[in-house]
């Protein structure tokens, strides 16, 4: 099997991204799985390697064609945008600008056929905004860079898959934004990913907004009947096994034991909470609906431990596995 080239963006250079990358790429199983190509700053990776005690060298590249994935060295498209004295653990416009540049370059590589997917280390929204890039996060930035009008966030753990109807907006705004067309499109995007992953007829559970799914009008103002039920009925009319709106607490319990292949969450914390209770080290974030494959760790920059060498690389390793599963199986155009 041809190992796909996965562009790994370094994230905010003041966060734990450089450290978890150096830790993850020291694992032989990762090198056997894919051709990992870091888009970042070679100097920062070398600093991180010293911090985590890695003996893996870093090759600084200017283009993909220079990469040699059989040497065991970390292959890095070096954008040279991180000052050597940038402190770990601090929010700065410099870090935000660097994180943006890494993403923009990775998108360019995938669109040119030089990589088969993108796997992102965490960035800081505060730093991103300080640098003048007013995006709520990776998902929205990638949608902008690829000209994609609408995407969805899916979180995946060994026991649970959750796709979100709304993400980085306030709860009141989320409820206002939810409408049948949006819910149906999100279900359809999730259904397509599961079918591509080999689940021929996935069973999908759709969360209600209110406690007890509104309890026939006892809670809320009829949001379930107005905003969710029409979408579920439309999906069922396509022949899909979609059920809901269901009480979220019950649905996540049932999905966790295997009764559902995917849960559709209505808002950010409704979906993120159950996934993160299962463990950050196993969670993966997948952006669904982009013309490029993108997976990510399911944790933040962890500025409080950045530069200390203690960050856990397992979520990044799992994100790389997911990227490989979803990436085109043909060799990139440059090889």
> Can you read off the two tokens belonging to residue 204?
């999908």
Element (H, E) at 171: helix 171-177
Shared-domain flag, residues 141 and 168: no
Could you give the CA distance from residue 4 to residue 2 in angstroms, rounded to a whole number? 6
Shared-domain flag, residues 216 and 247: yes
Question: Is residue 282 in a domain?
Answer: no
Cα–Cα distance, 59 to 72 (Å, whole number): 10
Q: Has residue 285 been placed in a domain?
A: no
The verdict on 329 and 186 lying in the same domain is no
User: Quick one: 172 and 139 in the same domain?
Assistant: no
In three-state secondary structure terms, 221 is coil
Question: What is the DSSP-derived secondary structure letter of residue 11?
Answer: -
Phi, psi dihedrals of residue 35, rounded to the nearest 5°: -105, 95
Asked whether residue 332 carries a pLDDT value surpassing 70, the answer given is no
User: Taking 70 as the threshold, does the pLDDT of residue 225 lie above it?
Assistant: yes
Q: For position 179, which CATH number holds?
A: 3.40.718.10
Same domain, 21 and 146: yes
Shared domain check, 270 and 211: yes
Tell me the percentage of the chain whose pLDDT exceeds 70. Answer: 96
Residues 240 and 330 in one domain: no
The string of pLDDT tens digits covering residues 33-90 is 999 999 999 999 999 999 999 999 999 999 999 999 999 999 999 999 999 999 999 9
Q: Given 246, 277, 308, which residue is the final one in a domain?
A: 277
Give CA separation, 331 vs 72, 156, 196, in Å.
20, 26, 19
Tokens of 294: 């993108």
Name residues whose C-beta falls within 8 Å of residue 253's C-beta, 6 or more positions apart in sequence.
Answer: none
- Domain extent at residue 221: 159-277
Q: How many domains does the chain have?
A: 2
Task: Read off the DSSP letter of residue 298.
Answer: S
């Amino acid at each position: 099997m041809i190992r796909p080239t996965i562009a790994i963006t370094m994230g905010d250079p003041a966060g734990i991204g450089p450290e978890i990358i150096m830790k993850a790429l020291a694992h032989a199983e990762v090198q056997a799985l894919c051709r990992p190509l870091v888009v970042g700053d070679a100097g920062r990776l070398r600093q991180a390697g010293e911090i985590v005690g890695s003996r893996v060298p870093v090759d600084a590249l200017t283009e993909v064609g220079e990469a040699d994935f059989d040497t065991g060295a970390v292959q890095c498209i070096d954008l040279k945008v991180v000052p050597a004295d940038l402190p770990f653990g601090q929010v700065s416009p410099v870090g935000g600008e660097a994180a943006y540049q890494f993403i923009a370059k990775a998108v360019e590589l995938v669109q040119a056929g030089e990589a088969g997917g993108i796997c992102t280390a965490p960035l800081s929204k505060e730093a991103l905004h300080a640098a003048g890039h007013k995006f709520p996060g990776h998902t929205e930035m990638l949608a902008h860079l690829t000209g994609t009008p609408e995407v969805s966030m899916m979180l995946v753990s060994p026991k649970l898959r959750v796709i979100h109807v709304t993400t980085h907006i306030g709860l009141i705004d989320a409820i206002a934004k939810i409408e049948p067309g949006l819910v149906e499109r999100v279900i359809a995007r999730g259904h397509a990913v599961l079918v591509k992953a080999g689940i021929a007829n996935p069973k999908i559970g759709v969360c209600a907004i209110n406690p007890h799914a509104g309890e026939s009008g006892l809670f809320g103002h009829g949001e379930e009947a107005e905003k969710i039920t029409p979408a579920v009925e439309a999906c069922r009319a396509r022949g899909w096994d979609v059920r809901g709106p269901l009480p979220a607490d019950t649905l996540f319990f049932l999905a966790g034991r295997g009764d559902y292949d995917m849960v559709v969450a209505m808002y950010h914390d409704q979906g993120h909470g159950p996934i993160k209770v299962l463990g950050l080290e196993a969670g993966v974030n997948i952006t669904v609906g982009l013309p490029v494959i993108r997976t990510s760790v399911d944790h933040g920059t962890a500025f409080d431990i950045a530069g200390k060498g203690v960050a856990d690389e397992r979520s990044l390793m799992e994100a790389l596995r997911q990227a490989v599963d979803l990436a085109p199986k043909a060799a990139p155009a440059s090889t």
